[in-house]
Amino acid sequence: MTAGPFYHNGPWLDHPDHRAFLATDAHRALDLFDASPRAGGGFHVLDLSGHPLPGGVEELHTTTRLVHSHALAQMAGRRDRAGIVDQGMDALWTRHRDRQHGGYLWALDAGQPVQSPKLAYGHVFVLLAASSAKMAGHPDADRLLADICEVLDRHYWDEAAGLFRDEFTRDWQAFSTYRGMNANMHGVEALLAAYEATGEAVFLTRAGRILQFFIAGQASAHGWRIPEHYDDQWRPDSDYAGNPMFRPRGTTPGHSFEMARLLLQWWDLAGRPDDQVPLQARALVYTALDDAWDATRGGLAYTLRGASVDNPARYWWPVTEAIGSLAALIKLDPQPGDEGWYRRLWTFADAHLIDHAHGGWFPELGPDDRPAMTQFAGKPDLYHALQADLLPLAAGLSRPAQALAGLRPLQNP
């Protein structure tokens, strides 16, 4: 274990050494992912040491998350040395955008479309990338933002339900009755970023409708665990099991952490209209911690059935999201236990998940606490770990890009 984020006096969020640790970890991850751009366009997936994996399919969520992450880092003071925002914005417009049918292609192989549905999950990340790029001042952001808003309005947004539909064929034919929480959760994230970027009230209103359904409606009725899967009437389907990465069976405690943080972000932006919201966020966070924390080895289980662990795999991203939600609770109204959990999560991450040799975080741990690759190849993602570093550095619960632009914590590596 290296000399990590371990301090004893006062809250860690306010401690200058902890804040320096967060900025350093962010820089090292960004440095690693600077190797992502492909010659000729698009991005590589990187191995554990940060070298491009051979071949590989370019997926929409990877491109969009790289744009968002590097735009956020740019606002926080780090120059985009590898030109990732420029290359990503070009890839979204010239490679992923479907010129024949509209919308955005989920996957490309050697620049050619891979047969796959058009997913709301990928499209809301286009909205996130466009919004973050706009806030970073990218000249093509408005073009992308206008296009993705039109696509989301035309195909995905269900005004009657106040939720996003999930999937269509490439030419926009309905082929399934599946509805899901995951795309809507990331839809909230993107809508809040779009509201921060534009000030247009429709984004904030839609985010609030989604949160109302899943938290006040569903989580409160299911022991503060959020059902993941639904039919086309928005009735929970507890037996559904789909793609093990994006639609696993059961509930996903990592998503409870994300939704809690997004709920507080929306509530703050909306003028703090309901004094029950902080209690709801806290219920989501602490139910997920109680259910999923591995008391023997540390880390968080991937999925649950009821309150019991279903898939005990320990991935990096639930830990990053738990960190973000605890940081939000501490900023708002710290209660006994919050600081201890925040410290426990960072101590575990520093010991087992952060790659101190190469930068970035290992995506999965095996039973021996060593990096494993049963679900993921290499280091597939910068976004989760970077936000675990940057969101605690931002003052307040909302407008993180604006807060980071004011502080510029990454200005001096």
404 part of a folded domain? no
**pLDDT for residue 3:** 53
Cβ atoms of residues 128 and 68 within 8 Å: yes
> Per the structure block, which two tokens stand in for 82?
């590898």
Cβ atoms of residues 43 and 36 within 8 Å: yes
Sequence-distant (6+) residues with CB within 8 A of 214 are 181, 184, 185, 226, 259
59 part of a folded domain? yes
> Per the structure block, which two tokens stand in for 411?
């200005």
**pLDDT for residue 250:** 95
Which of 70, 186, 229, 384 is the catalytic position? Answer: 384
Q: How far apart are the first and last CA of the chain?
A: 22
At 84, which CATH number?
1.50.10.10
Sequence-distant (6+) residues with CB within 8 A of 96 are 58, 60, 63, 104, 105, 108, 126
**What's the pTM value of the predicted model, to 2 decimals?**
0.97
Cβ atoms of residues 411 and 278 within 8 Å: no
Judge whether 384 counts as a catalytic residue: yes
88 part of a folded domain? yes
Hey, what amino acid is at 120? A
2 part of a folded domain? no
Which of 229, 255, 356, 358 is the catalytic position? Answer: 255
Please give the tally of structural domains in the chain.
1
Tokens 């925002």 correspond to 85
How far is Cα 345 from Cα 204, in angstroms, rounded to an integer?
A: 31
List the one residue out of 205, 219, 331, 230 whose CA is nearest residue 284.
Answer: 219
List the one residue out of 272, 310, 268 whose CA is nearest residue 292.
Answer: 310
410 part of a folded domain? no
Q: What is the 3-state secondary structure (H, E, C) of the chain?
A: CCCCCCCCCCCHHHCHHHHHHHHHHHHHHHHHHCCCECCCCCECCECCCCCECCCCCEEHHHHHHHHHHHHHHHHCCCCCCCCHHHHHHHHHHHHHECCCCCCECCEEECCEECCCCEEHHHHHHHHHHHHHHHHCCCCCHHHHHHHHHHHHHHHHEECCCCEECCEECCCCCCCCCCEEHHHHHHHHHHHHHHHHHHCCHHHHHHHHHHHHHHHHHHHHHCCCCCCCEECCCCCECCCCCCCCCCCCCCECHHHHHHHHHHHHHHHHHCCCCCCCHHHHHHHHHHHHHHHHECCCCCCEEEEEECCEEEEEEEEHHHHHHHHHHHHHHHHHCCCCCHHHHHHHHHHHHHHHHECCCCCCECCEECCCCCECCCCCCCECCCHHHHHHHHHHHCCCCCCHHHHHHHHCCCCCC
Cβ atoms of residues 125 and 190 within 8 Å: yes
Domain hosting residue 278, numbered range: 12-399
**pLDDT for residue 317:** 98
155 part of a folded domain? yes
Spell out, as residue ranges, where the chain has pLDDT lower than 70: 1-3, 413
116 part of a folded domain? yes
Average predicted confidence (pLDDT) for the chain: 96
233 part of a folded domain? yes
